[in-house]
Amino acid sequence: KPPAAVQSATHQQHDVKNPLPLSKDVLNTLSKLRVNQKQDKPPTAQYNPDQGGAPHGGGSPNSTANSGLSEADRNAIGAHVRPCWGIDAGAPGVQNFSVQLLVTTDASGTVRQAVIAPASQGNMGDPIYAAYAQRAVAAVENYQCATLPLPSNMLGKVNTFLFNFTP
């Protein structure tokens, strides 16, 4: 037989208020009716959408704003970020690497987040590749290169771009 439980010095006994079985109290009767009543219609609560976006904004959740960029715009962004990026040229295999980043900008075109895209996540087990990818993230987030030269039609809203870094 196990020993009896020892109560702590701060233990308080709370009375559980169960209704008496034959009570004629109106609240007791209503309480019993609510418990025993079957639900005859589905709940009316509605799903709360994530903050920050339109509930039915449309578009693909996996799409990026790259399609809104002309080739000249893409070249200008690449030329703007390139001075902040460097590779370890002596690292074995680095010339064959390629990393994709998902880059989110604020309404002014300044980078607010850069993460390694799911397509490139599988290679992160290789420490040389991981260092290569982190250099790409650091280049995009570098204060000297973080304000991207976006076209005027992309300013004033949050954008997510897919960047591809190759040596």
Give ∠ CA 70-159-74 in degrees, rounded to 5. 25
pLDDT at 84: 92
The answer to whether position 123 is within a domain reads yes
pLDDT in tens, 107-142: 999 999 999 999 998 888 999 999 999 999 999 999
Residue type, 160: T
pLDDT at 147: 92
- Which token pair is 40? 């005859």
Q: What is the CATH number of the domain that holds 161?
A: 3.30.1150
The answer to whether position 33 is within a domain reads no
pLDDT in tens, 29-57: 777 777 777 777 776 776 666 665 555 55
pLDDT at 116: 93
- Which of the two residues, 21 and 54, has the higher pLDDT score? 21
The answer to whether position 47 is within a domain reads no
pLDDT at 29: 74
The answer to whether position 36 is within a domain reads no
pLDDT at 75: 92
Domain range holding 80? 65-165
- Predicted confidence (pLDDT) at residue 62 exceeds the cutoff of 70: no
Dihedral over Cα of 127, 132, 133, 138: its sign: positive
Burial tier of 161 (Cβ tally within 10 Å: 0-12, 13-18, 19+): buried
The CA distance from 33 to 25, in Å, is: 13
Mean pLDDT of 94-117: 92
pLDDT at 99: 93
Share of the chain above pLDDT 90, in %: 36
Number of domains in the chain: 1
pLDDT in tens, 65-84: 677 788 899 999 999 999 99
pLDDT at 69: 84
Q: Which helix (H) or strand (E) holds 114?
A: strand 111-116
Residue type, 61: P
Characterize the bridge pairing of strands 159-165 and 99-105.
Answer: antiparallel
Entry field: residues in the chain: 167
The answer to whether position 43 is within a domain reads no
